[in-house]
Amino acid sequence: MSKQSLRSLGVGFLLAAILTGAFAIFYQGQVPISGITLPSVLKGQNSKANESVVEELSQVKEEKDQLNLNIASINLENTGLTEKVNNQAESLEYYKSLLESNGILLPKDDSETAEDESESTVKGDQIFTVNQGESAGEIAQRLESEGFISSAAEFEQLISDWNLSGLIQAGDHELSTSMTIHEIASQLTNGAYYHQ
């Protein structure tokens, strides 16, 4: 085949595709967009749908503007309430200082007693962290130095007697100084060791 014949064949295929596309669009009314036909586009039948979309969009914008106004008013109220709370706290501190300067002692608040109680419970229950790859001997030494157990050797003996060194879980464990070595071993192994 010569160059001229290939060129003519290509132009023929191109014209055939253009004529087929024009026939499908203009004569059959098949537009390559789903849900839309050529007559509806030419006659403007989609303008009603466009109007409803524009109307919904305007309603959404109005709702958004209303919500923004509500947010602004709530923020304004919040600012006013914060200022009132700050003023009350300042006046309370002022009156407390006046009473203390006059030698009048105030009883403790419930919040202060709650803080005292929480401090005492923190001293009883503490978080003990077992690091990845830490040996049973190192854990026992740390437990003894932090006051959870009285004898590291006794804890190491318990671990070796029951083959618990591979069962100790790395991570944070909540321990108390009042726990026995058996309870501590159970806690560190996540219940794999159980002692009655």
Q: How far apart are CA 29 and CA 42, in angstroms?
A: 10
Paired tokens of 73: 């008013």
Backbone conformation region of residue 106, classed left if phi is above 0, alpha if psi is from -120 to 50, else beta: beta
pLDDT in tens, 126-182: 889 999 888 889 999 999 999 999 999 999 998 888 888 888 888 999 998 888 998
Contact criterion met (CB below 8 Å) for 139 and 185 = no
The pLDDT, as a whole number, for residue 94 is 86
Q: In 10 A of CB 65, how many CB atoms? A: 10
Q: How far apart are CA 165 and CA 140, in angstroms?
A: 11
Q: In 10 A of CB 144, how many CB atoms? A: 17
Q: How far is CA 182 from the centre of its chain?
A: 37
Instruction: Indicate the pTM of the whole model.
Output: 0.38
The pLDDT, as a whole number, for residue 121 is 46
CATH class of 120-188: alpha beta
Contact criterion met (CB below 8 Å) for 163 and 123 = no
pLDDT in tens, 76-123: 999 999 999 989 989 888 888 888 777 776 666 655 555 555 554 445
Confidence of residue 7 (pLDDT cuts 50, 70, 90): very high
Paired tokens of 105: 């002692």
Contact criterion met (CB below 8 Å) for 193 and 162 = yes
pLDDT in tens, 33-81: 666 665 565 665 556 667 778 889 999 999 999 999 999 999 999 999 9
- Residue 174: strand pairing partners: 127
- Terminal-residue alpha carbon distance, the chain: 98
Q: How far is CA 145 from the centre of its chain?
A: 37
Q: In 10 A of CB 169, how many CB atoms? A: 13
